[in-house]
A and B are shown apart, each in its own frame.
Chain A
């Protein structure tokens, strides 16, 4: 990315707000053991469903667990799920898109038909079905979300490769006798990085939301591991007595998803030459 792009990105206040939220979440996730006042899974039956107080900042849940500690630990699950599933989709989709776009012909036809078929399903319906078949766990949730996100990257990268391939610098590399691998990694990849980074950011927002949704439905991370989605599911039963049980994990999901959306948007605007004032 050029300096001008970076400057445009850093001048975007909304994108910077997203960066700050993301930084706080990442720090929270990394330093969770130091930051939290209580063990996120230890119960305290003398302090059930307490409202927020100086002792328990976000209150306690139906088993007397400290919600602040659980929300901080939940950031680990959420960020890991979001980032790893998108990384998986990027690798798988990248491979499919590069091969389809670079070699064309029947390989392209077969691969694109397959991605079309996958894109025919509503994202969440397919993710739920996959997670259900694989069985509920954090790994399987990531796998399900990653696979369902794959066609998005395959399509994007294929399109970019098709657009870049006929250009002179690629033709020059071909004429100089560079190998396919070298052309792909040295010439094509750096030139399609921009749209790719935007998509990674936006897809991570979707993936974080999908993980929370699967956990909310009981198909994701299993108890007692704290996950924002399952915390919200627990909270549903106690909404009239203890609304704080829903409020904090809900806000956490909202902020995490918002952060990735803000960053993705800011990057897209910074990379789009038409957006220059």
Chain B
């Protein structure tokens, strides 16, 4: 198990190295000089030259890359241009908030998506099935910022039940934290719920037609036991894969959701770094998000073994 994780992590190294090249290229080689982007269009050439010198931008590009990479290895993500502080602590400070939002959204998505998908599969080709399909597709298609705005309008403005925005840390006031997280989690989780419902339905349909399900039924097992113990467990593997693949999308969606609900998380940091032209922060945020996706994929692989005892990692 430990060896598997280690091998899986090592196997990802070449890709991760390429990821660092892409991130570096994104901010250094593409049109737009970081110094000029930082200073704006009207900056004098002298000032641009001075900033370039300070940022080390006039050294050979490979040296700059090696320098940056060596920093990454030591956990140094660079220096924020705007805040004049190291980037790494900023990221570690924002990440838990986004993690909390993502986990709640995942919970919302699973609690809605899996029962809906099972129900649709069991009632195949009925109005219930069609209803679930339309709801699921709508969930996938509704822009999360629109959904967020609708929720704010209904629950904050019309009904005045929930404050429209803001964030309180869970260790400061857990109840307030959960209340404030409710709308963002629904906003972010809806699309994933739709995707999960669709995959659960298809996966269940496939499993329900298998011989062992018929055998379980034939030997007189109760319908519910067959569905949950025999079918759902086997249907879960492709669903887990989909959830794993979609978690990266959750991270992207968090950018918008945090913007709508003014949550000071990782996604807000990305948008702020864009508007502040703070390229070291932008670079770090993009890199960490790719790293997060990679780790999620490893975790997804490990989850298979928990669901399917036939899968063992050595």
Give me the interface of A with B, judged by CB distance under 8 Å. 14, 113-114, 116-118, 120-126, 128-130, 132-135, 205, 209, 212-213, 216-219, 229, 232, 235-236, 239-240, 243, 246, 250, 253-254, 257-258, 261-262, 265
Contact = CB atoms under 8 A, between A and B. Distances in A.
Given A134-B31, A246-B153, A126 B146 contact: no
B7 to A, nearest CB: 17
B149 A121 contact: no
B195 to A, nearest CB: 11
Interface residues on B, range: 35 or more
A212 B205 CA distance: 35
B289 A122 contact: yes
Interface of B: 14-16, 18-19, 21-22, 26-27, 30-32, 133-134, 137-138, 140-143, 145-146, 149-150, 152-153, 157, 248-249, 251-253, 255-256, 259-260, 270-271, 274-275, 282, 285-286, 289-290, 293-294
B149 A240 contact: no
B196 to A, nearest CB: 15
B257 to A, nearest CB: 11
Given A116-B15, A121-B19, A217-B271, A261 B289 contact: no
Q: Is the interface of B mostly helix, strand, loop or mixed?
A: helix
Contact of A232 (B27, B149, B289): B149
A121 B256 contact: no
Given A133-B27, A134-B30, A124 B252 contact: yes
B248 A122 contact: yes
A122 B14 contact: no
A262 B141 CA distance: 10
A132 B22 CA distance: 15
B178 to A, nearest CB: 24
A243 B140 CA distance: 23
B179 to A, nearest CB: 19
A250 B143 contact: yes
A120 B9 CA distance: 14
Nearest to B144: A213
Nearest to B279: A133
A126 B286 contact: yes
B145 A117 contact: no
Contact of B251 (A122, A205, A246): A122
Contacts of B271: 128, 217
Contacts of B286: 121, 125-126, 129
B140 A133 contact: no
A230 to B, nearest CB: 11
